[in-house]
Amino acid sequence: MKSLAGHVRVDDHAILGGFTLVHQFCQIGRQSFSGMGSVISRDIPPYVMVGGSPTKPRGINNVGMERRGYDPEAILQIKRAFKVIYKSRLKLEEAIEQLAAMAEQSPEVLPMLDFLKQSGRSIIR
């Protein structure tokens, strides 16, 4: 059972665990994953796993990406992008700048970059 408020967008291959609650106008990026009982009040970028109480980013959905046939090098680049967003302690605007530079060399980072640029509610951090 999941509860999605109005105007929620869930992208392709995103997985919402049981009893996940999603606030209105949130966007759930492709290949993202929420653990059981997550309460999502901000956007979740592509490939990111969230869970816990309060809900926080936990890593990337590498198992889901492997199952969908993502190349190991692509998964590594996405993991590096995750670290820029969540582990570098950069402001979101600074992280976006770094991802833009990364995307020039690694096109698999582009979905994360595009998502962050258009996020309306900000992201879970």
Q: What is the maximum span of the chain, computed from C-alpha positions, in angstroms?
A: 40
Residue 48 has φ and ψ, to the nearest 5°, of -90, 135
> Would you say 75 and 83 are in contact if contact means Cβ atoms under 8 Å apart?
no
Q: Give me the residue spans of the domains in the chain.
A: 2-64, 71-118
> What's the predicted TM-score (pTM) here?
0.93
Mean pLDDT by 10 residues, the chain (125 residues): 86 95 96 96 97 94 96 97 96 96 94 94 91
**pLDDT score recorded for residue 121:** 83
**pLDDT score recorded for residue 5:** 85
Residue 35 has φ and ψ, to the nearest 5°, of -75, 165
State which CATH number among 2.160.10.10, 1.10.3720.10, 3.30.70.60, 3.50.50.60 fits the domain covering 2-64: 2.160.10.10
**pLDDT score recorded for residue 32:** 98
